[in-house]
């Protein structure tokens, strides 16, 4: 399973749900950050982090201090993707009960159609069927949740409340691109057949029906979900974007809303996404 996002659309919840399955094999990370680190212009920070952690752990190993080899392995995957494919091949062969492994890196929503195609082809050559899952969330609420998360993680970077930070940042390339679901969908559909693509909306994910659809798509047995479990909750998670700002950001994402509605005509997007009412 290639989990391509979207950021703040319950990717961690879904990953943790799948980890409970005896048919799912997990080892090092939820997010491997291999292809965004090499491809995405707005993810230079991710590449630096991968190699910084690799260098730190390598230095610790030389001094016989505590170190984690997983950071060196991930750096080798960025430099030589064959190590990435070989790693997942080994995981899936590590026990007869395993039928699913996953890399759920929301920044993969920023990848090109060519990169998606290369990932799919490389796994296919190893006899592994790569399937992509893309979760979407109201682009206004998604951006707000992203800013609140960053505000919590790095409060020294923000000298204004999250609402003001959102007003300042929603057009920033690193924030805006993650809300361009139409581009991600177009790129995925150039690289994967419909049978290997699954879309779901954050706003309806937390139901037995939606989780059942994911399990059926990934060919793993359904287990009862824990809908009371909420990972990565941020302060003010029950608050919504002020009305004037919500309309402003919705206008910015007008094209995305229209294209998503066109792509999923059976979905009442205005009922699902409050911000869509401003532009549809």
List 200's β-bridge partners, or say none: 135
Overall pTM surpassing 0.85 (yes/no): yes
- What is the 3 state secondary structure string of 210-225? HHHHHHHHHCCCCCCC
Phi, psi of 3 (to 5 degrees): -90, 110
Residue 276 has pLDDT above 60, yes or no: yes
Q: What is the pLDDT of residue 232?
A: 74
3-state secondary structure of 63: coil
For 151, phi then psi, to 5°, come to: -65, -40
Give residue 237's pLDDT. Answer: 57
Predicted pLDDT at 238: 62
pLDDT confidence tier of residue 56, bands split at 50, 70 and 90? very high
Question: Residue range 70-85: average pLDDT?
Answer: 96
Kindly state the percentage of the chain with pLDDT values over 90.
Answer: 86
Query: What are 96's two structure tokens?
Result: 């007869």
Cβ burial of 16 (10 Å; 0-12, 13-18, 19+) is middle
* Token pair of 98 as six digits: 């395993």
pLDDT at 233: 64
Q: Per-residue pLDDT for 23 more than 70?
A: yes
C-alpha–C-alpha distance, residues 280 and 19, integer Å: 38
Radius of gyration of the chain (CA): 19
212's CB contacts (< 8 A; 6+ apart) are 222
Identify the three-state secondary structure at position 9: coil
Domains and CATH numbers, the chain: 2-278 (3.40.50.300)
For residue 274, give the nearest of 144, 170, 151 by alpha carbon. 144
Query: What is the percent of the chain with per-residue pLDDT over 70, rounded to a whole number?
Result: 98
Strand-pair partners of 135: 200
Nearest in space to 227 (alpha carbons), one of 247, 208, 209, 213? 208
């Amino acid at each position: 399973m290639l989990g391509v996002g979207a950021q703040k659309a319950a990717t961690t919840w879904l990953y943790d749900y799948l980890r409970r399955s005896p048919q799912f094999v997990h080892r090092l990370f939820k997010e491997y950050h291999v292809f965004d680190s090499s491809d995405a212009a707005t993810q230079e920070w991710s590449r630096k982090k991968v190699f910084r952690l690799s260098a730190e752990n390598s230095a610790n190993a030389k001094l016989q201090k505590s170190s984690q080899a997983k950071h060196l392995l991930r750096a080798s995957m960025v430099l030589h993707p064959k190590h990435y494919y070989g790693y997942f091949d080994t995981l899936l062969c590590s026990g007869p009960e395993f039928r699913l492994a996953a890399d759920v890196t929301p920044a993969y929503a920023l990848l090109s159609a060519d990169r998606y195609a290369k990932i799919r082809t490389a796994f296919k050559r190893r006899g592994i069927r790569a399937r992509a899952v893309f979760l979407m969330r109201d682009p206004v609420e998604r951006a707000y949740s992203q800013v609140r998360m960053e505000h919590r993680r790095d409060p020294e970077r923000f000298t204004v409340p999250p609402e003001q930070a959102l007003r300042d940042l929603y057009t920033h390339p690193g924030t805006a691109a993650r809300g361009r679901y139409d581009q991600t969908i177009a790129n995925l559909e150039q690289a994967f057949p419909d049978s290997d693509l699954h879309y779901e909306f954050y706003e309806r994910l937390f139901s037995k029906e939606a989780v059942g659809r994911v399990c059926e798509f990934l060919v793993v047995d359904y287990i009862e979900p824990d809908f009371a479990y909420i990972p990565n909750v941020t302060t003010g998670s029950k608050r919504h974007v002020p009305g004037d700002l919500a309309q402003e950001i919705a206008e910015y994402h007008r094209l995305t809303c229209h294209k998503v509605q066109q792509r999923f005509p059976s979905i009442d997007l205005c009922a699902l996404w409050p911000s869509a009412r401003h532009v549809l």
